[in-house]
A and B are shown apart, each in its own frame.
Chain A
Amino acid sequence: MRPENYQSVNHPPSNEFELFFGPNHPGIEGNYALKVRVNGDEVTSARADGGYLHRGFEKLMEGRLWIQNIALVPRICVPDPVPMEVCYSLAIEELGGIEVPERAQWIRVMQLELSRIAAHLFTFGGHAATTGMYTPMFWGIADRDLILDLFEELSGGRVYHIFNIPGGVRRDLPPGYLDRVSKTLDYIESRLPDYDNLLFTNKVFVHRATGVGVLNQEQALEWAVTGPNLRATGLDFDVRRDDPYLVYDQIEFDVPVEQAGDAWARALVRRSELKESLRILRQVVAKLPSVGGPIRAPIPNPLAWNLPAGDVYTRVESSKGELAYYVVSNGGDKPYRVHVRGPSAMHAVQVLENLVTGARIEDVAQIMFSLDACPPEVDR
Chain B
Amino acid sequence: MSDIDYKDRGSLLNPLKSFAFFGRPAVTEAIEPRPASDNYRGFHVNDWTKCVGCSTCQKVCDNAAITMVRIPGLIADPVKGIRDERPAIDYGRCCWCGLCVDICPTGSLALSREYVHTCVDAELDSYFVLPDSSGMHGQHFEKGWAKTADADLVDLDRQKMPEMEPEQRIGNFAEMLLGYDDQQALLEASRCVQCGMCHDACPTHMHAPEYIRAIWEGKLEEAVAWIYQTNPFAHICGRVCTRRCEDACSIGHRGEPIAIRWLKRYAMDAVPHERVKQIALAGKVDTPTGKRVAIIGGGPAGLTAAFDLAKKGHAVTVFEALAEPGGMTRWGIPEYRLPYDRIDRDIDVIRSAGVDIRCNVRIGQDITLDQLRAGHDAVLLALGLQQGRQTRIPHSEHEKVFRAVDLLNKITANEPFDVPHCAVVIGGGNVAMDIARSLARLQKQQYGQVNVVVTALEEQQHFMADPDEIKEALEEGIVIRDQCGPQGCEIDAAGKLVGLKTWKVLSIFDENKRFAPRYDEAGETIHACDTVIEAIGQSADTSLLGDTLTEALEWNRGRIKVDADGRTSEAWLWSAGDMVNGPDVVHAVADGHRVATSIDAVLMEQKK
Contact = CB atoms under 8 A, between A and B. Distances in A.
Direct contact of A and B (CB under 8 A): yes
Contact of A272 (B3, B98, B154): B3
Interface in B5-61: 5-6, 8, 10, 14, 17, 27, 36-41, 56, 59-60
Interface in A191-226: 196-197, 200-201, 203, 206
Nearest to B212: A304
A303 B144 CA distance: 24
B317 interface: no
Given A201-B10, A303-B193, A68 B62 contact: yes
Given A71-B62, A206-B6, A304-B216, A160 B95 contact: yes
B189 interface: yes
A153 B193 contact: no
Interface string B519-550: 00000000000000000000000000000000
Contact of A172 (B103, B150, B155, B187): B150
A349 interface: no
B5 A301 contact: no
B41 A157 contact: yes
Nearest to A332: B217
Contacts of B60: 65, 67-68, 302-303
Contact of B145 (A69, A156, A206, A269): A156
Contacts of B3: 272
Contacts of B96: 157
A259 to B, nearest CB: 9
Contact of A295 (B5, B150, B187, B194): B150
A301 B105 CA distance: 11
Contacts of B482: none
A230 interface: no
A296 B1 contact: no
Most buried by B among A156, A256, A258, A304: A156
A292 interface: no
Taking residues whose C-beta sits less than 8 angstroms from the other chain, chain A's interface range is 35 or more
Nearest to B213: A304
B153 interface: yes
Interface in A264-315: 268-269, 271-272, 294-296, 298-306
A241 interface: no
Interface residues of B, number: 47
A77 interface: no
B95 A305 contact: no
A70 B97 contact: yes
B2 interface: yes
Contacts of A304: 189-192, 194, 213, 216
Contacts of B564: none
Interface in B80-103: 95-99, 102-103
B151 interface: yes
A299 B37 CA distance: 27
Contact of A301 (B2, B4, B10, B190): B190
B585 interface: no
B148 interface: yes
Contacts of A303: 56, 59-60, 103, 192-194
Contacts of B5: 201
B111 interface: yes
A370 to B, nearest CB: 15
Nearest to B111: A156
A67 B99 contact: yes
Contacts of B144: 156
Contacts of A153: 37-39
A156 B37 contact: yes
A256 B4 CA distance: 12
Contacts, number: 119
Contact of B17 (A142, A197, A298): A197
A149 B34 CA distance: 11
Most buried by B among A64, A162, A171, A301: A301
Contacts of B37: 149, 152-153, 156
A256 B2 contact: yes
A102 to B, nearest CB: 15
A64 B41 CA distance: 21
Contact of B151 (A65, A71, A170, A197): A170
Interface in B463-485: none
A227 to B, nearest CB: 16
Contacts of A206: 6
A174 B151 CA distance: 13
Contacts of B41: 155-157, 162
Contacts of A268: 2, 4, 6
A78 interface: no
A71 B111 contact: no
B192 A301 contact: yes
A153 B39 CA distance: 7
B36 A152 contact: yes
Contacts of B56: 303
A3 B6 CA distance: 56
A156 to B, nearest CB: 4
Contacts of A269: 2
A251 interface: no
Nearest to A299: B153
Nearest to A175: B38
A314 B24 CA distance: 45
A72 interface: yes
B424 to A, nearest CB: 46
A257 interface: yes
Contacts of A203: 10
Contacts of A149: 37
Contact of B4 (A160, A172, A201, A299): A201
A372 to B, nearest CB: 17
A89 B4 CA distance: 37
Contacts of A71: 62-63, 95, 97, 99
B103 A302 contact: yes
Interface in A59-87: 64-65, 67-72
A142 B99 contact: no
B107 to A, nearest CB: 15
B1 A257 contact: yes
B258 to A, nearest CB: 10
A299 to B, nearest CB: 8
Given A71-B95, A162-B97, A200 B6 contact: yes
A359 B49 CA distance: 67
A198 to B, nearest CB: 9
Contacts of B194: 303-304
A271 B4 contact: yes
Most buried by B among A142, A203, A304: A304
Contacts of A302: 60, 99, 103, 153
A203 B151 CA distance: 52
Contacts of B151: 170-171, 295-296
Contacts of B2: 256, 258, 268-269, 271-272
A319 to B, nearest CB: 17
Given A142-B27, A294-B150, A301-B190, A156 B10 contact: no
Given A72-B62, A156-B145, A171-B39, A305 B102 contact: no
A142 B24 CA distance: 15
A301 B111 contact: no
A299 B145 CA distance: 20
A232 B190 CA distance: 50
Given A294-B150, A304-B192, A156 B6 contact: no
Given A68-B62, A302-B60, 9 more contacts: A70-B97, A70-B99, A71-B62, A157-B96, A271-B2, A272-B3, A272-B4, A295-B151, A298-B155
10 contacts: A152-B36, A162-B95, A174-B39, A206-B6, A271-B4, A301-B192, A302-B99, A303-B192, A303-B193, A303-B194
The 3 closest A-B pairs by CB, nearest first: A68-B62, A71-B97, A156-B41
Interface of A: 64-65, 67-72, 142, 149, 152-153, 155-157, 160, 162, 170-172, 174, 196-197, 200-201, 203, 206, 256-258, 268-269, 271-272, 294-296, 298-306
